[in-house]
Amino acid sequence: MKSTVISIVLTAASAGSAMAATPVYLDPKAPIEDRVEDALSRMTLEEKVALCHAQSKFSSAGVPRLGIPEVWMSDGPHGVRAEINWNDWGHAGWTNDSVTAFPALTALAATWNPDMAALYGKNVGEEARYREKDVLLGPGVNIYRTPLNGRNFEYMGEDPFLASVMVVPYVRELQKNGVAACVKHFALNNQEQWRGNINVDVSDRALYEIYLPAFKAAVQDGGAWSIMGAYNKVWNQHCCHNKRLLEDILRGEWGFDGVVITDWGGAHDTREAALNGLDIEMGSFTNGLTSESEFTYDDYFLARPFLELIRKGEVPESVADDKARRILRLIFRTAMNTEKPFGSLHSPEHYAAAKAIGDESIVLLRNTGILPLDPAAGRKILVVGDNAVRKLTDGGGSSELKVKDYVSPLEAIREVFGPENVTFAQGYAAGRPMYSSEEVIPAAVQDSLRAEAVAKAAEADVVIYVGGLNKNAFQDCESTDRREYELPFGQNELIEALIAANPSTVIANITGNAYAMPWADRVPAILHVGYLGTMGGASMADVLSGAVNPSGKMPYSIPVRLQDNGAHAFDATSYPGVESAEGDVLFGACAPQQRYAEDILVGYRWHDTRKIPARYAFGHGLSYTTFAYGKPVLSAKELGPDGKLELTVPVTNTGSREGAEVVQLYIADDKASVLRPVKELKGFEKVTLAPGETREVTFTVTPDMLAFFDEGAHAWRTEPGSFTALVGGSSATADAKVRFKYAE
């Protein structure tokens, strides 16, 4: 004991003599890379390895001896999750961690407004900073491939261009708070079924044209400081330590200088984790053999096993240096960033931001004229539906949020239309939000709730139905997919009965996914509302009353039937995959195999190319005013390899009130040597127009917008020939066309 103390004292003494000059790594004015190298030079092997794995559920070690802080992470993409216990998934029960719940990311995508993405990143970043988090585990940008994916609500829709444009401002503004984005889940985690082990087989064209672009944009344009590896496999190797994904593509092709963090429990092999580009192993029950019990963090793959590989000389210490270097860079960008602000929590500004994003996210799918409802008319309104009162920030998995405030649709509708004019009937019961199991509701309960709602409907002037999906397992929830495309809890039967009792039944469903709408042509209006968080009810009420003119556009198609969706047009190999052996999904022997058979034809690309009209198309969304498109004009008829064309299209507000339109530009390759979608989104701009106003909207067309990914050449290629630019207010109504040639 004595000798230890003496050695500490001597170290302190020597350090004391060195205290005169501030070490470079502690000098905030020194370039980050100098600080990284200086810190690394002072670290032991044990300290480098300690940086590379969890020390608790949501933190990894710093270097206490050098005064380098720990890395604190938190979910999630829509706000800062309540504090979790040190070593289990329970809530710590703090009283200072209630937050603002911002709209889910499909709702952000439905705004088609990059300014809203910037506002989102700034505000959620201020809350993460105030909660002293260094890494926010989001945004998620996995492509919406199937309406059954339980986590689509956490992502940005079916189109890679829309997701690429919307993710960048979120990342940039978030990181200005000294909080790292952790863009997830990289890659091909497009469903929850068997997510821990499924091996996804996909063509390079689909990988590069559909599934990678949003991650690439987040890295190259957003400057993301971290990426989260996905649970699943691709090319039969887990994404969290997948050489081609992490070394060849992410770092080799994209130049990523940040940190790769596993999904929680996503590491399965020490040597792969050491050599294939993983930096920090997070999670639980990660002994790779059985589920966790007393399992300690020192047993993680990148903990003692990694240290032993290096000590035995099987892996060079330089591998640990590379990981430590990237993790130190993350720490200097976040925890040790002396420029970072202090942040704030559930401020009026954050509520205003959540409201503004929610307002712009609501999609008016159908309106025969019943909307907006004038509050002054004093109509007797019946609100029906569990989602009118349910706190939809509970449940859903890791994106759950403990909110300080939550404005429910019923409260907001009563506020706007007068409590004396608004009554409520639950209509159906949905059970408690549980994870991977569900509460069975007796049929007698549902029958009774339905009867009560229908009886009340007959007495009302207008019925506003607020149902949809929720955050229960097998709904919009992590770790499980939906079991069917139809609304759950007998809602279609209820909606049919409501329509029969009162034809003035407005549908204002809340969901994170598309769903079957057999009654769509028999209701006077349909709103498609995402999970909008703290201010969601207020946004819905303001759209219903007309205080807000809806301007949202669908970020994903709404098929009439599930089998109209490309992923479901083939056998089980396409969805949900086929399980080749029994076993524990996350860590067992089972190895489900899946082939993305629709390939590049995801979403509207499938509907267009297979000529299967969606019930409501990608990019669709109505307004309380109307818009007309003039003829698009090109600055030239031919585009060369280094050239660009200006496309100008006049858009007019032909209605009687101000409104915003998302002008969408699609490009069609009129004759290609390979199969290509009929058209692809390559530009959009949201413009607000006064009644009668005409605006010339301009897009710049460049050769890269015409390219497809040539698998043989492993490069993007634009073939000479004829192309068509199509402009309009949705993928189904982009009828304003103009042709041009591309010549090399």
Contact 618, 723 (CB under 8 A): no
Contact 741, 722 (CB under 8 A): yes
CA 732, chain centre distance (Å): 24
Nearer to ligand GLC, 398 or 653 (CB): 398
Least spacing, CB of residue 398 vs ligand GLC, in Å: 4
Nearer to ligand GLC, 229 or 659 (CB): 229
Nearer to ligand GLC, 186 or 485 (CB): 186
R_g over Cα of the chain: 27
Least spacing, CB of residue 226 vs ligand GLC, in Å: 11
Burial (0-12, 13-18, 19+ Cβ within 10 Å), 570: middle
Least spacing, CB of residue 89 vs ligand GLC, in Å: 8
Indicate if the alpha-carbon torsion angle 19, 27, 219, 715 is positive or negative. Answer: negative
Contacts 24+ apart (CB under 8 A), 436-440: 436/473, 436/479, 436/480, 437/473, 438/472, 438/473, 438/474, 439/472
> What SS3 class is residue 593?
strand
Name the pairing type of β-strands 721-728 and 736-742.
Answer: antiparallel
CA distance 714 to 708: 11
709 phi, psi to nearest 5 deg: -90, 115
Contact 430, 390 (CB under 8 A): yes
> What SS3 class is residue 526?
strand
Q: Under the criterion CB under 6 A, does residue 137 sit at the interface with ligand GLC?
A: yes
Task: Considering only residues 365 through 424, tell me which ones interact with ligand GLC, judged by CB under 6 A.
Answer: 398
Percent of residues in the chain assigned helix, strand, coil, to nearest 5? 30, 20, 50
Nearer to ligand GLC, 56 or 367 (CB): 56
Nearer to ligand GLC, 119 or 240 (CB): 240
CA distance 301 to 296: 11
# chain residues binding ligand GLC, by CB under 6 A: 7
Is 75 known to be catalytic?
no
Least spacing, CB of residue 629 vs ligand GLC, in Å: 40
Instruction: Single out the residue of 225, 264, 618, 740 in contact with ligand GLC (rule: CB under 6 A).
Output: 264
Q: Under the criterion CB under 6 A, does residue 184 sit at the interface with ligand GLC?
A: yes
Task: Give the amino acid at 75.
Answer: D
Least spacing, CB of residue 184 vs ligand GLC, in Å: 5
Contacts of 679 (CB under 8 A, 6+ apart): 608, 666, 667, 668, 724, 726, 731, 734
State the SS3 of 439-474.
CCCCHHHHHHHHHHHHHHHHHCCEEEECCECCCCCC
Least spacing, CB of residue 340 vs ligand GLC, in Å: 22
Nearer to ligand GLC, 34 or 88 (CB): 88
Least spacing, CB of residue 339 vs ligand GLC, in Å: 27
Instruction: Single out the residue of 263, 272, 438, 579 in contact with ligand GLC (rule: CB under 6 A).
Output: 263
Nearer to ligand GLC, 76 or 385 (CB): 76
Least spacing, CB of residue 77 vs ligand GLC, in Å: 8
Q: Under the criterion CB under 6 A, does residue 232 sit at the interface with ligand GLC?
A: no
State the SS3 of 640-660.
CCCCCEEEEEEEEECCCCCEE
Nearer to ligand GLC, 75 or 542 (CB): 75
CA distance 439 to 445: 13
Nearer to ligand GLC, 193 or 664 (CB): 193
Nearer to ligand GLC, 246 or 523 (CB): 246
Q: How big is the CA angle at 46 (ends 45 and 52), to the nearest 5 degrees?
A: 95
Contact 624, 657 (CB under 8 A): yes
Contact 606, 145 (CB under 8 A): no
Least spacing, CB of residue 265 vs ligand GLC, in Å: 7
Nearer to ligand GLC, 73 or 535 (CB): 73
Least spacing, CB of residue 75 vs ligand GLC, in Å: 5
Instruction: Give, to the nearest 10 degrees, the angle between helix 32-42 and helix 317-333.
Output: 130
Give the number of other Cβ atoms within 10 Å of residue 6's Cβ: 10
Q: Per the residue annotation, which of 75, 97, 263, 476 is the catalytic one?
A: 263
Q: Under the criterion CB under 6 A, does residue 666 sit at the interface with ligand GLC?
A: no
Per the listing, tokens 């703290």 go with: 534
Task: Considering only residues 67 through 106, tell me which ones interact with ligand GLC, judged by CB under 6 A.
Answer: 75-76
DSSP for 246-258 reads: IIIIIIIIT---S
Q: How far is CA 677 from CA 90, 184, 197, 382, in A?
A: 46, 26, 31, 45
Least spacing, CB of residue 103 vs ligand GLC, in Å: 18
Helix (H) or strand (E) holding 422: strand 422-425
Q: Under the criterion CB under 6 A, does residue 134 sit at the interface with ligand GLC?
A: no
- Footprint of ligand GLC (CB under 6 A): 75-76, 137, 184, 263-264, 398
Q: Catalytic residue numbers?
A: 263
